[in-house]
Amino acid sequence: MADEKSAGPAAELTVVGTGFLVAGQVTPEARSAMEGADKLFYLVSDPATRFWVEGLNPTAESLYDAYGEGRRRDESYREMVERILAPLAAGLSVCVALYGHPGVFVHPSHEAVRRARQAGFPARMLPAISAEDCLYADLLVDPARDGCQSFEASDFLLRNRRFDPSSALVLLQVGVIGRAAYRPGGEPDRRGLAVLTEVLRETYPSDHEVVLYEASPLPLFEPRIHRLPLADLPEAPVTVASTLYVPPWGVARANPEVRARLGLAPPPSSRRQ
């Protein structure tokens, strides 16, 4: 009797994340998808992870060359999506491995899954550890305590996002504010940092302590954690990988009417003696 599995895997797309710390944060499910794919694409942030990924699957191919100095990022993203979908259309199972979480600030992953499903192919995205997850652990931040708001830094400024200063604020990609084209190297956009600082100082005092954060990419290396007053942000040691964490400022007022409707007792300080 013939083995029904002998024909090999059907064409499907799986997008996974490698997290950080080389292979230390890769789930068994993600590794299995990387090893078993007919074609593996990857985009990672350090040579050690690149070597590890290439050792998992001989078909591994980097998408990094889709970037080009001065080339608009949206053009690079379109090229990545087309390259991912081509072997899928040829009947191959495809896996795409991206550093961090594959669904957090990664346009090509979402677009590739969307278009693959639209074309009738099974497509899925597996969860992974993001830079923000690492931030919570390294800075000992509990987002459930005061709440937490996350924005891409350019979007935060351009769309005049409303936010609650009594909750934590996380701004990603603060080193490339307003930068539409790819530029090699780690030099930040100082003009964007200055504009961000001006906007934040409309809400927070100039001496409010903020934190520049970068997750550690390798074992035995510490994360980059730089605490500084908000006013010093324009000249701070920022890179293209930096995330800005702004701790809560002030205390949100409780709504006594809602407290009563929920049947909760008044807080101790407001009770009659």
Token pair of 202, please? 């409309």
Our answer to whether residue 67 is catalytic in this structure is no
Q: How far apart are CA 232 and CA 23, in angstroms?
A: 36
The whole model's pTM is what? Answer: 0.85
The pLDDT, as a whole number, for residue 105 is 85
The pLDDT, as a whole number, for residue 269 is 62
- Across the range 143-161, mean pLDDT stands at 95
Which helix (H) or strand (E) covers residue 94, if one does? strand 94-98
Residue 166 — φ and ψ, nearest 5°? -80, -5
The pLDDT, as a whole number, for residue 255 is 87
Our answer to whether residue 99 is catalytic in this structure is yes
- Catalytic residue, chosen from 67, 77, 213, 245, is 77
Residue 54 reports pLDDT greater than 60? yes
H helix intervals, the chain: 28-36, 47-56, 73-89, 107-118, 131-138, 143-146, 153-158, 190-200, 256-261
Question: For 71-101, how does the pLDDT look when each residue is reduced to its tens digit (9 = 90+)?
Answer: 888 999 999 999 999 999 999 999 999 999 9
From residue 207, alpha-carbon distances to 188, 210, 231 in Å are 22, 9, 6
- Across the range 247-254, mean pLDDT stands at 91
- Catalytic residue, chosen from 42, 67, 83, 99, is 99
Q: pLDDT-based confidence at 181, cuts 50/70/90?
A: low
Our answer to whether residue 191 is catalytic in this structure is no
Q: Name which of 46-50, 110-114, 119-123 the model is least confident about.
A: 46-50
Sort strands 148-152 and 168-172 into parallel, antiparallel or unpaired.
Answer: parallel
Token pair of 17, please? 């994340």
| Nearest alpha carbon to residue 207 among 156, 239, 246, 152 | 246
- Across the range 11-30, mean pLDDT stands at 94
The pLDDT, as a whole number, for residue 6 is 37
CB atoms under 10 Å from CB of 148, counted, come to 18
For the chain, the helix, strand and coil percentages under 3-state DSSP, each to the nearest 5: 35, 20, 45
Q: How far apart are CA 262 and CA 40, in angstroms?
A: 52
Q: pLDDT-based confidence at 46, cuts 50/70/90?
A: confident
CA 73 to chain centre: 16
Which helix (H) or strand (E) covers residue 262, if one does? none
Q: How far apart are CA 17 and CA 97, in angstroms?
A: 5
Q: Which domains does the chain have, with CATH numbers?
A: 13-125 (3.40.1010.10), 131-246 (3.30.950.10)
DSSP state of 181: B
Q: Name which of 124-133, 198-207, 216-225 the model is least confident about.
A: 216-225
The pLDDT, as a whole number, for residue 171 is 97
Report the side by side order of strands in the sheet with 13-17. 61-62, 39-43, 94-98, 13-17, 123-125
Residue 240 reports pLDDT greater than 90? no
Mean pLDDT of the chain: 90
3-state helix/strand/coil string of 110-171: HHHHHHHHHCCCCEEECCCCCHHHHHHHHCCCCHHHHCEEEEEHHHHHHCCCCCCCCCEEEE
